[in-house]
Structure 1
Amino acid sequence: MTTFLQLHLLTTYPPSNPNRDDQGRPKSAMLGGAPRLRLSSQSVKRALRMSDAFQQGLAGHLGQRTKLIGNVVREHLEGQGAKTEAARKVAETVAAAFGKIETADKTRPDWVQGTTLAFISPQERSFALELADRLAAGEPAPNGKELAKAVLRTADGAVDIAMFGRMLADNPDFNRDAAVQVSHAITTHAAQIEDDFFTAVDDLKKRDEDAGGAHLGEHAFGSGVFYLYACVNCDLLVENLGGDAALAAKGAEALVRALATATPSGKQSSHAHRPRAGYIRAEVGQDAPRDLSGAFFTAVTGGDLLAASVERLETMAAQIDRAYGPACEAAEVMNVAAGQGTLAALMAFAGAAVGRGNG
């Protein structure tokens, strides 16, 4: 049976705008008839991948999402003395393994760019450069599936690809199912978007001249306690990493640290929002996963919204267990305000959960 690691987090954000919509305002959602602030799962996963927990803790085991792998190949060949036109042709051939190539831009004729973002592992990047060297030396180019097999892999050491998956429309055999599911984070209580009217002053304007601002603007923000849920398929994570259970466990530990400390960075220089999770509940077991968002379908109210949210979440977990039977076999909790648990203990719990699922 499959082993699941489930993570439930409550994090208090100050006035901020970490994840904006197309009008520059904080993203939002309606839940239980009440307006909530929202952080999209895409923005959360980007924050996780860019966090120190990932970039430092998993260095050498992270992929890159890019349309520009062709330019990497071209620049590599040019650095070895190849002429630009010859390098560009080889780069187009190699980059086609990751997806269709855009028509050459007249303003940048040497530019090689794909039509869609491709999630590329360090191993695949190396294979692409090796193939480019062989083609530049005169080796015939492989066609179709042979080209894909020369570059792409279904499992490798890229932890973020193993966690969050990828889709290659032109080579679906090398798609990767995500081992980690991440929810949209929503406030546990009703929350309104506020507007800030601001001005900027011209430093060189004399005081006896027009005293008004040199620039007028408007900025939206919000604040609240956000609930976030993540579910890790421990067995699939190891499978996506080619059976490397030790690396999978290291990835799970990094995931917990990043979830607790990383945040989408929109307008961060304006608000300096750097919150840390105030409450984390980690669970491991083989029962079907379930999130606890139903605890907040009716908006939380009261003076201490974080404490009330913790109580709601724990009550919901107990109610589900009572009705369906235990949803997990073991749990670890960190409640900062109550002085319960530590991040180090949660990370160790997550690493052991991955090992347990594949031991």
Structure 2
Amino acid sequence: MTTFVQLHLLTAYPPANLNRDDTGRPKTARLGNVDRLRVSSQALKRAWRTSPAFKAALEGHLGERTQRLGEEIEGHLLKRGVAEAAARKAARDVADVFGKVKGEGDKYPTRIEQLVFVSAEERADALALAERIAAGESIDLSKTPLLRSVDGAVDIGMFGRMLADDPDFNREAAVQVAHAVTTHRAVVEDDYYTAIDDLKTPAEDAGAGFVGEAGFGAGTFYLYLCIDRDLLTRNLGGDAELARRGLAALIHAATTVGPKGKQASFASRALASYGLVEVSNGAPHTLAAAFLKPVGGEDVLAGSIAAFEATRNGFRAAYDLPESRRDKNPEGWRGNDAAWPVYNTLTGEGSLKRLIAYATR
């Protein structure tokens, strides 16, 4: 049976523009027939996997999404004293294994046409193979293992990759991330701002040196993640301890890191105010239905938590789902380090540390 780890988060953001659309305004969605603010799963995942804490926790076990593998290989060979023509040819040959390389007459002849997720192991193998080719060794790249279907790249194991020309080396994502939406009706507002020329004298006109307009919005967002823990372990070659470390790093990032859009203008850094984790073999399910009726009132965060927990209890009763025990720890732990499936900053219940311990036990 498959073990799913499901994470439900509620995070309150002040005025912000975390994730912009093609016009530069905050992304939106309609849910329950009213407008909500939205943050895309793509923006969330990139913010998490590039965050300093995530990188520190999984150092040496992360990949890179890039078109520039060939450029890196070429630069590596040039530093080793390889002639420019030989370095470029070897770089193009090896990069082409990961995806179609741009034409020789292109401005960037060693870049790959598409972004590709490359693990640390694959990158090291690519550099070593390029060195052999540049040294004059005749190598049949079609028969030389370079791409891997499993390795220690936690982010690739989590978020997957697709290689159109080599589907045997695709990786199915072990982590599913929903778009975060506000639990309540929300509108995009406009910030009219001006910039003053510091060197303008009082004798000149009183006008601003620049006038601009920017969209923003504020709200409490619901976010749902579903992690297939068994698939994550398989993607990492059966390394259960690395999968556990990755899961802990992901939960920490999801609760503490958001997209960086317009941070200099809004300083909209926020921590999740409420988190609940479920670990089970049953069918995973979002609880976004809790917010089909937009939360109202003055205390939106408290109202959102109440609506979420009521809906969760309703689903559990209707489908006879197991409860994440909050009255007794299944492992019999005691004290401040005991595992606990929920934390609530309004009531002081639980903590992020204890929630991670519950999810990774």
After TM superposition, the score normalised by the length of structure 1 is 0.94
Instruction: Please list every run of at least 4 consecutive aligned residues from structure 1 whose deviation after the TM superposition is greater than 6 angstroms.
Output: none
What secondary structure is seen at the aligned counterpart in 1 of 2:191?
Answer: strand
8 Å Cα contact 1:189-1:225 kept in structure 2: yes
2:209 paired with 1:214 = yes
Q: Structure 1 residues 98 and 222 mapped into 2: Cα distance closer, same or farther (>3 Å)?
A: same
* 1:156 equivalent in structure 2: 151
Residue pairs, 1:239-278, within 5 angstroms: 239-278=234-273
2:331 paired with 1:336 = no
8 Å Cα contact 2:161-2:172 kept in structure 1: yes
2:280 paired with 1:280 = no
Distance 1:6 1:107 in 2: 46
8 Å Cα contact 1:284-1:328 kept in structure 2: no
Distance 2:324 2:149 in 1: 31
Q: Which of the residues 137, 140, 161 maps onto 2:138?
A: 140
2:100 paired with 1:100 = yes
Please state how far the C-alpha of 1:121 moved relative to its aligned partner: 0.6
- Between the two proteins, the alignment pairs up a number of residues equal to 347
8 Å Cα contact 1:288-1:327 kept in structure 2: no
* 1:310 equivalent in structure 2: 305
8 Å Cα contact 2:341-2:359 kept in structure 1: no
2:228 paired with 1:230 = no
Distance 1:257 1:152 in 2: 30
2:136 partner amino acid: G
Instruction: Select between 22-31 and 197-206 the one with higher mean Cα deviation.
Output: 197-206
Distance 1:195 1:105 in 2: 46
Residue pairs, 1:1-359, within 5 angstroms: 1-105=1-105, 107=107, 111-144=109-142, 146-147=143-144, 150-327=145-322, 330=325, 332-352=341-361
Distance 1:105 1:319 in 2: 63
8 Å Cα contact 1:36-1:187 kept in structure 2: yes
Please state how far the C-alpha of 1:11 moved relative to its aligned partner: 0.1
Listed as ranges, the gaps of 5+ residues in structure 1 are 353-359
Instruction: Select between 156-165 and 322-331 the one with higher mean Cα deviation.
Output: 322-331
Listed as ranges, the gaps of 5+ residues in structure 2 are 326-339
* 1:356 equivalent in structure 2: none
Please state how far the C-alpha of 1:85 moved relative to its aligned partner: 1.5
* 1:355 equivalent in structure 2: none
1:114 partner amino acid: I
